[in-house]
Amino acid sequence: MDLDAFYAAVEQLEDPSLRTKPLIVGGDPNGRGVVATANYVAREFGIHSAMSAAEALRRCPHAVFVRPRHALYREYSRHVWETVRGIVPTLEQTGADEGYLDLGEVARDFLEARVVSEAVQTAVRAATSLTCSLGVAPCKVVAKVASDYRKPGGLTVVVPGQEASFLAPFDVRKLPGVGPKAEARLRPAGVETVGALAALPDDDLRRLLPGSVGIALRDRARGIDPRGLEFDVQRVSISSENTFERDVLDREWLHGELRRQAREVAESLHKRGEVARTVTTKLRYGDFSIRSRSTSLDHGIDDADRIGDLACRLLDRGLRDRPGALRLVGVGVSGLGSFRQLTLEAV
């Protein structure tokens, strides 16, 4: 998943008058600054990230330049990824504006993965007014290229068996891992596309890109990428959820499922010697739309019954706001701490 022209999009949200103007976020065009990002109006002038700000000004003298506001972007980014985790809990965030989502955890096949991806786009837009593009594929390298294929706001699904044919027409520089040095070796040899790199015989590959790097890049060009997701070891929340085979309307049954999940969450808290101040109930409807309801306490808790009671109340509140059968429910706790404050009941 890749947010579209992230810095520029945030600046346009903060100042809507910038939407129709060529906007460049970056350094001083009269100095040695570079373009961090440009909106799509500015990109029509050939302006792109990492270009010198002076060159961007030469190409578009009437462009609006703003200096980056990283604290603001971090706040938007945090909101985006919290929203995404409400739909796809397992992900590898590779930057403020991009990351890999483990759709296999929430979708049974690629058709369902498309529906989940559309739900991610809808949720991000509803929560932040930002747009994102997604590429769905069996491996990282293909997903990365696919995410850039239909920007802005695009969704491209590459099903198993189509990886190499999808990549083949792209310029070789579009393949992640092919930098300026590799490009300088490949182009003079007539390797202009990803497909041409994929077709290189062993002898030519060793001559042009010696060592393991060449083998890895040719594998990627063929849509072969064994890398898995990498995760931050720091855990800021604990949750349990369940996707049902059929959508469920029975409120009593849903309460029982939430209490079972609350026991799992409480057991995890006990093992970690932690308490939590915030309890969240997650609801996913049959159309994959997500609703979550949270409550925060003055003191931390680790009691399964207390967590279960709160989770059930939050479910009832969510279903009052939007009635309907549920495809998934989940319980999560956050605001984790190491010390348990004594309550009157404990005394």
Any idea which residues carry the catalytic annotation?
A: 98
Residues 6+ apart with CB under 8 A from 344: none
Q: How many other CB atoms sit within 10 Å of the CB of residue 241? A: 18
Q: What is the DSSP letter of 34?
A: B
Q: 8 by DSSP, 3-state: which? A: helix
Furthest-apart CA atoms within the chain: distance in Å: 79
Q: What angle do CA 155, 34, 93 make, to 5 degrees?
A: 40
Alpha-carbon span 51 to 175, nearest angstrom = 20
- Who contacts 279 (Cβ-Cβ below 8 Å, separation ≥6)? 294, 295, 297, 301, 307, 310, 311, 314, 331, 332, 333
